[in-house]
Structure 1
Amino acid sequence: MSRKSIEERLAQLEAQRKSLQARLSKDERARDTRRKVLLGALVLHRLEEGRESSADYLRDFIRRELPGFLTRDIDRRLFEDLIGPGKTG
């Protein structure tokens, strides 16, 4: 039975490190996406719920800030009900 050289062992460890790093990055992206979805769901729920002060504040904030945040027309069209058609930042 031959033993692995130090170089082979280091290469194997580096491959394992890269694999674990990729998995960590994937988990972090999934967590970030889930946070964004849940936060968006809360905002939409509050807007639909229609409590006067909080819903009005959110609508004003979204109408003011979202057009400048969105960079693609396809994304702007998703929010036309909130910001109106053709609004840009």
Structure 2
Amino acid sequence: MDKGVAKLEGQGWARKAGRWKQERANDTRRKVLLGALVLHRLENANDPEFTKRLGDWLRRELPGFLTRDNDKALFVDLLNGPVAATEVQNSEAGE
């Protein structure tokens, strides 16, 4: 194989690697933004019923989705119910 062909093949792999890297970056960015939206809705929602349903769904789904202990540790506060704490504050304000 001549050096020119080898160089072109190497450049092809580099382009593929670059596209793969960009796709991974885009995927990560989408996940971060989606997570930010969910957390924002849990903390700042104007719809308490939606917030409750979203929190309930996350507490039901996350334990089966998270497999590593360090990942589970990141969500301890959510799994233990900051939404419930918000509900308590709201109910106390109504008393």
Coarse TM-score class (shorter-chain normalised) = 0.7 to 0.9
Amino acid at match of 1:72: R
In structure 2, what is the Cα distance between the partners aligned to 1:23 and 1:29?
Answer: 10
Structure 1, residues 62-86: CA drift from partner, whole Å, max 9, x if none? Answer: 00000000011111111011113xx
1:27 aligns with 2:40: no
In structure 2, what is the Cα distance between the partners aligned to 1:37 and 1:54?
Answer: 21
In structure 2, what is the Cα distance between the partners aligned to 1:56 and 1:82?
Answer: 12
RMSD: 1.2
Structure 1, residues 2-23: CA drift from partner, whole Å, max 9, x if none? Answer: xxxx632221111000110111
> What is the match of residue 59 of structure 1?
55
Runs (4+) of structure 1 exceeding 2 A deviation are 6-9
Larger relative contact order (CA 8 Å, sep ≥ 6): 2
Q: TM (normalized to structure 1)?
A: 0.82
Aligned-pair distance for 1:37? Answer: 0.4
Structure 1 unaligned spans of 5+: 1-5, 85-89
Mapping 1:39-54, distance limit 5 Å: 39-50=34-45, 51-54=47-50
Structure 2 unaligned spans of 5+: 81-95
1:17 aligns with 2:8: no
Structure 1, residues 19-66: CA drift from partner, whole Å, max 9, x if none? Answer: 101111110011001000000000000000142121111101100000
Identical columns (%): 56
Amino acid at match of 2:64: G
